[in-house]
Amino acid sequence: MKIRRITDWVLKEFPLRNQLSFDNAKLINHKNLTNQLTKVLVCADYDRFNFELAKKHNANLIISHHPMFINHQDLKSDAFIAKAYQDFYQNNRSFLVLHTAYDFSPNGAHSYFFKLLKIKKFDPNPINHYYRFEIDCSLEQLISDLKKIEYIDQVQYLSTAKFKKKLKKGLICLGSGYSSDQLDLELFKQYDLLITGDLKWSSWINAINHEINVIDIGHHVESIFIDHIGELLVEKFHDQLEPKQLILGHSQFKIIKR
């Protein structure tokens, strides 16, 4: 099977034209697409570990959630990024980044997250990048359910937050989704809680000042991309993609908290 068969299908499912304006989702090394697929590596970040993994398994297609850079100057100033991009062309590897084209697709990150959390009532169409969902449980039960998801390594919320005894409706934006924009704050206040990640200190202060009930589940949760894309590839190309041709590049590090 040629590499193009996979990239064409993936890009039909998650068109790059749908990425957010700031993003750098793209396909690198188009000339390589006519080659036969050796192996495909799926990862959340193409870091040093996945760089070595691609070389070890001779993967000639890499599908990554995050881009290696947003600022194009990093391609010149960051030695590792420059080395990785040189390797794409020297060793015939195509590099496909989906990022927000995947995150905000109706069949992308949030739909898969709701499936993992066993939430059936949700709107696949976001408001200002926030997805609405319905639940009927306590905060304690929700946190317990969140912690059952493999990639949620933290759950944080404010001691001053005033959560209802029974949570009924919420918003979620995976990744770094907190906003201090007045229109977004007005939206948050219409719901029992907001789930997102990577809150900065200034965002916590903003949440205190505006009485926003926000839960921070970190950024590592976006590694659900690896499992989801892997499942989709197996389902679509089950008769053409051998198990040994699919490499799942899970993180090889942990951030130690003491």
Q: Where are the domains of the chain?
A: 3-102+223-248, 106-218
Alpha carbon of residue 246 to chain centroid: 19
Is the Cβ–Cβ distance between 167 and 192 less than 8 Å?
Answer: yes
Q: Which pLDDT band holds residue 252 (cuts at 50, 70, 90)?
A: confident
143 has a pLDDT exceeding 90: yes
Is 72 labelled as part of a ligand binding site? no
Q: How far apart are CA 109 and CA 223, in angstroms?
A: 10
Is 210 labelled as part of a ligand binding site? no
Task: Report helix, strand or coil for 242.
Answer: coil
For the chain, give the mean pLDDT. Answer: 96
pLDDT tens-digit profile of 196-209?
999 999 999 999 99
- Right CATH for 3-102+223-248 from 3.40.50.620, 3.30.429.10, 3.90.226.10, 3.40.1390.30: 3.40.1390.30
Tell me if domain 3-102+223-248 and domain 106-218 are identical in fold. Answer: yes
User: Looking at the whole model, is its pTM more than 0.85?
Assistant: yes
Is the Cβ–Cβ distance between 76 and 82 less than 8 Å?
Answer: yes
Is 222 labelled as part of a ligand binding site? yes
Is 219 labelled as part of a ligand binding site? yes
Residue that the structure tokens 């190309």 belong to:
237
Q: How far apart are CA 74 and CA 89, in angstroms?
A: 18
Domain 106-218 homologous superfamily, CATH:
NIF3 (NGG1p interacting factor 3)-like (3.40.1390.30)
pLDDT tens-digit profile of 31-47?
999 999 999 999 999 99
**33-62: average pLDDT:** 98
What pLDDT shows up at residue 74? 84
Is 140 labelled as part of a ligand binding site? no
Task: Report helix, strand or coil for 64.
Answer: strand
Which of 118, 113, 49 shows the shortest CA–CA distance to 84?
49
Q: Which pLDDT band holds residue 214 (cuts at 50, 70, 90)?
A: very high
What is the percent of the chain where pLDDT is above 70? 100
Q: Which pLDDT band holds residue 254 (cuts at 50, 70, 90)?
A: confident
Task: Report helix, strand or coil for 147.
Answer: helix
pLDDT tens-digit profile of 158-196?
999 999 999 999 999 999 999 999 999 999 999 999 999
